[in-house]
Amino acid sequence: MDEIEKVKEKLISYFHKMNKWETENYAKLQSRDDEDPDHFKQVFANAKIELDSIYKEYLTPKERKLTSSHNSLRNPPQYDATIETITSCIMKKNNRIEIETFKNDAIELKNQYVFLKKEGEWRLDNKKTYWNHKNKWESVPI
């Protein structure tokens, strides 16, 4: 398997993990009829631990200003491999691969995921979205 195929598989795996994280934790938030603050605090605390674990597995280790937040759980989830498909993959350098996707939902976004190879392992470094109304790519929460 070549490097681009490895990175494609890693991105799809990341989509699946994030989708599972989002959908399961959103369901936990919705599982209570009342608005018990302790319930919400506990769900968010557990979700943060799970999210940190996913980030540790998939993302480059660095301080991040733009990340998903454990309290940004929503429905529909941000990550869904059934509606976000890979449209192109480019190896920019031996240690950098850029993957572009198209998310076929109501907004129809183009995203770019940048992977860097560090210590022999490909890690997701950042995500950008192409905004048609601005005619440019901008970094967005990963």
For 40, 54, 67, 107, 121, the CA distances from 35, given in Å and listed in that order, are 8, 28, 26, 31, 43
71: confidence class by pLDDT, cuts 50, 70, 90: low
For 13, 57, 62, the CA distances from 125, given in Å and listed in that order, are 15, 12, 9
Average pLDDT score, the chain: 90
Across residues 28-46, what is the average pLDDT?
82
Q: Please tell me the least confidently modeled range out of 28-42, 66-80, 86-100.
A: 66-80
Across residues 3-20, what is the average pLDDT?
96
**Residue 99 is which amino acid?**
I
**Model pTM score:** 0.90
Give me the pLDDT at residue 34, please.
Answer: 65
Across residues 85-91, what is the average pLDDT?
95
Mapped onto helix, strand or coil, the DSSP state of residue 31 is coil
Tens digits of per-residue pLDDT, 57-69? Answer: 999 998 877 666 6
Tokens of 142: 């990963």
Give me the pLDDT at residue 37, please.
Answer: 79
